[in-house]
Amino acid sequence: MTSVSEMNEIFVFIVVVLRGSGYMTRLREEDVLYIAESLKEYDKQLVKNVGKSLAGIAAHAIGRTEKEIYDLHHATSVAIIPVTCGEGIINGFSGSVQKIIEHLGFTAFVTGHKDVGGLAEAVKKGAKVIFLADDDHFVAINISTGRVVVDNGEATGKGYAAALDLMSGGLREREVLLLGAGPVGTGAAAFMSGHGARVFVYDVELEKAENLKKTVPGVQIVRDFYEALPEYKLLFDATPAPEIIVKEYVREDTMISAPGIPLGLSQGCLPLMADRLIHDALEIGVAAMLFEALSN
Ligand code: 2YH
């Protein structure tokens, strides 16, 4: 069996390699393959585990109710533009974003044209919000306000933090161990701190943790990941490192919000966490992006 110190070394290695090369998780076709057909089931599971649906979580992320969003924006049309630059189109990506948005109750379409032609088509067809992604960015732009650009990273962080707030019965005065101080971790820290949580952040690059601390005052830095892990009941995994949370570190009351792709839990840990884990490839992030794009 892999020892704790070996695991620690593997973790440090993985994260240094990933971060050092400027790596950012790029979704693969297999990550999005079953999203559309699983949406209803996924929403039921969210209601059971978190207490709210996808729309309820996204509304909580921006401090609104679902009703407020629907009353103001039910007629909104959303366009998703396939983007070919860099590594190109991911089969099923645009279609999955469309299905998630439709599932939330809005009209959505994928443009027939790609790239610039898609942008022209989206505007011509009256889209109010436009979603598009290349290899480094995934944004939602509200073209009717002309100024709202929502990045997927921070919105995802907020969405998953809102879900953890709901699942845990409220983060006020609670301690959360946040793994990863990138854009997702920063969005999560801002939400959790704003909701009264005591946030402890670990990042293999200390400088990133220090920057997050400057952006979100009150956050404290943790220097030893595996020493800290068993001390916390609430975990937020915003790293792209696989299998870093093994079953020896989870308790029967541990709750994990894990937007990182791939999932940071070991296979052995998954069955134990089935009802206390929040994780998907795209759904909460897209819902949080859309509601945030509509909120301004
Ligand atoms: O998966 C990604 C990015 N790594 C997202 C980064 C978010 N912080 N992009 C998807 C690329 C989609 C492709 N260009 C398409 O099908 O349009």
In short, whether 153's Cβ falls inside 6 Å of ligand 1 is yes
How are beta strands 129-133 and 77-81 bridged, if at all?
A: parallel
Question: 253 is in which domain, residue-wise?
Answer: 155-278
Q: What is the CATH number for 198? A: 3.40.50.720
**How much is the pLDDT for 147?**
63
How far away, in angstroms, is 155 Cα from ligand 1 center?
A: 15
pLDDT digits (tens, 9 = 90+) for 116-174: 999 999 999 999 999 999 999 999 999 988 767 778 999 999 999 999 999 999 999 99
In short, whether 83's Cβ falls inside 6 Å of ligand 1 is yes
Average pLDDT score over residue span 240-258? 92
**How much is the pLDDT for 10?**
45
**How much is the pLDDT for 296?**
64
Which helix (DSSP H) or strand (DSSP E) does residue 68 occupy?
helix 66-73
**How much is the pLDDT for 74?**
85
Q: Are residues 134 and 32 part of one domain?
A: yes
Triad 146, 149, 155: Cα angle to 5°: 145
Number of domain units in the chain: 2
Question: DSSP character for 245?
Answer: B
Q: Is 217 helix (H, G, I), strand (E, B) or coil?
A: coil
Q: Are residues 77 and 167 part of one domain?
A: no
Q: Are residues 113 and 10 part of one domain?
A: yes
Pair 281, 262: CB distance under 8 Å: no
In short, whether 134's Cβ falls inside 6 Å of ligand 1 is yes
In short, whether 41's Cβ falls inside 6 Å of ligand 1 is no
Q: Are residues 265 and 183 part of one domain?
A: yes
In short, whether 89's Cβ falls inside 6 Å of ligand 1 is yes
- Residue 294's pLDDT band, with cuts at 50, 70 and 90, is very high
Whether residue 17 has pLDDT greater than 70: no
**How much is the pLDDT for 150?**
78
Average pLDDT score over residue span 175-194? 97
Beta bridge pairs of residue 198 = 175
Q: Are residues 167 and 228 part of one domain?
A: yes
Distances from the Cα of 75 to the Cα of 148, 253, 278, angstroms = 18, 42, 30
Q: What percent of the chain has pLDDT over 70?
A: 91
- Residue 25's pLDDT band, with cuts at 50, 70 and 90, is confident
In short, whether 138's Cβ falls inside 6 Å of ligand 1 is yes
In short, whether 133's Cβ falls inside 6 Å of ligand 1 is yes
- Residue 6's pLDDT band, with cuts at 50, 70 and 90, is very low
Q: Are residues 261 and 287 part of one domain?
A: no
Q: Are residues 163 and 55 part of one domain?
A: no
Q: Are residues 265 and 232 part of one domain?
A: yes
Q: What is the CATH number for 45? A: 3.40.50.12150
Q: Are residues 239 and 145 part of one domain?
A: no
How many Å separate Cα 134 from the centre of its chain?
A: 17
Q: d(Cα 187, Cα 154) in Å, to the nearest integer?
A: 4
- Residue 39's pLDDT band, with cuts at 50, 70 and 90, is very high
In short, whether 85's Cβ falls inside 6 Å of ligand 1 is no
pLDDT digits (tens, 9 = 90+) for 252-290: 999 999 998 899 999 999 999 999 999 999 999 999 999
> Closest residue (by CA) to atom 4 of ligand 1?
26
Q: Are residues 124 and 55 part of one domain?
A: yes
Whether residue 14 has pLDDT greater than 50: no
Q: Are residues 205 and 193 part of one domain?
A: yes
274 contact partners, CB below 8 Å, separation of at least 6 = none
pLDDT digits (tens, 9 = 90+) for 53-93: 999 999 999 999 999 999 988 889 999 999 999 999 999 99
Q: Are residues 200 and 120 part of one domain?
A: no
| Ligand 1 probe mutation, 83, 110, 156, 158, most atoms within 8 A of CB | 83
Beta bridge pairs of residue 63 = none
| Type of residue found at 157 | G
Which atom from ligand 1 is nearest to the alpha carbon of 93? 16
